[in-house]
Amino acid sequence: MTCMKRIFSKTRRLVGVTLASGRCFHAELVRTESSGLPIVHHSKYVCELPANHRFPMAKFPRVLHFLLQDQVITEKQVWVPEIASKDLLGAVHTEDYLDNFISGRINEQEQRRTGFPWSEGIVRRCRYETGGTVLAAEVALRRGLACSTAGGTHHAFPSYGSGFCLLNDLAVAAKYLMNSSSRKRKVLIVDLDVHQGDGTAFIFKDEPSVFTFSVHCGKNFPVRKQQSDLDISVEDGLEDKEYLSTVAEHLPWLLETFRPDLVLYDAGVDPHRDDELGRLRLTDQGLYQRDLYVMKTVVKRGVPIATVIGGGYSRDIDKLALRHSIVHRAATQVWRECGM
């Protein structure tokens, strides 16, 4: 633990120097003065949807609300991302897809596949959300750990969206951070959303510098799975103990063999027993222990980790937002216990 403190405190001292001499974050607002866990949030993570739409758009501001209300964090810890540029997105998505998506040339069939009606608002929120994941990864590289209050849109492919995912934020962040240093970084994507990260798996199937690891419910969406570098398909009804054992069986080995420079962690809460689309039976405590285990295991090895909230579905927005805030609460414990 003490060695971790030395590693990340040294990194933190360098941030102010870098910022004084030149811009190094994709951010509208940086919080280098705060010594607390960096949280990445933008008020434009949301947009209007038709009444009774199935996607719980209102959860994003409520996640931040509960973190502040419960005094898990303060406003001084909240970094604000800038909108993801077309150049940033173009490293993953095709030019035709981006042109059509941004300008609204999306037909009815394509909108049905994504689950969203097109609007300027949906374009804006997806670009800010992607910017948030990029910023969380950038900050994690300098601070050791950072958490967005959105992200995890792992069903988006290079040339189309799918399953409530229009831009693949994890892939955009991985691609950018992989290529933004003199030595190509290695990125491990740990995807514990209940649904397989099929878009991410497809995007990086031939990229040796990115390793995709997915633990998902085998009989859930998507029906047609892609091949991740490591897929663990679990049965319906899996509970806390067995789920945590499954993760613990593979994560340490992956860190030791792949030796990533950065971990992107999709902490989806849809494995929860009360999730409308999940089919597994994890509890709040099970999710907390899962998140705590993943982050501690990574941080103890001196590897930076950025987290996104992933999927979660409930008509009760406040219950869902509290569930999504579990990863930030666990991260706060890791930050404190590891002396970051």
Report yes or no on 39 lying in a domain: no
- Return the pLDDT at 23: 54
Q: pTM for this one?
A: 0.94
Find where tokens 């199937």 sit. 205
For residue 322, tell me if it sits in a domain.
yes
Task: Give residue 286's domain range.
Answer: 44-338
Contact in structure between 80 and 335 (CB atoms under 8 Å): no
Residue 38 covered by a domain: no
Q: How would residue 198 be classed by pLDDT, with cut points 50, 70 and 90?
A: very high
- Give the span between the Cα atoms of 331 and 318, in whole angstroms: 20
CA 204 to chain CA centroid, nearest Å? 16
Any domain includes 82: yes
C-beta neighbour count of 53 within 10 angstroms: 12
The CA-atom distances, in angstroms, between 76 and each of 23, 28, 81, 231 are: 20, 14, 14, 38
64: alpha, beta or left? (left if phi > 0; alpha if psi -120 to 50): alpha
Q: What average pLDDT is seen over the chain?
A: 93
Residue 28 covered by a domain: no
Q: Any idea what the CATH number is for the domain that residue 158 is in?
A: 3.40.800.20
Cis peptide before 222 (omega within 30 of 0): yes
* Percent of the chain clearing pLDDT 70 (strictly above): 93
Q: Does residue 312 lie within any of the structural domains?
A: yes
Whether 306 and 140 have beta carbons less than 8 Å apart is answered as yes
Give the number of domains in the chain. 1
- Looking at residue 18, its pLDDT comes to 39
Tens of pLDDT, residue by residue over 35-44, are 999 999 999 9
Q: Is 259 a member of any domain? A: yes
Domain-embedded: residue 219: yes
* Per-residue pLDDT reduced to its tens digit, 43-73: 999 999 999 999 999 999 999 999 999 999 9
- pLDDT tens digits, residue range 199-236? 999 999 999 999 999 999 999 999 999 999 999 999 99
Reading the block at residue 323, the tokens are 């569930």
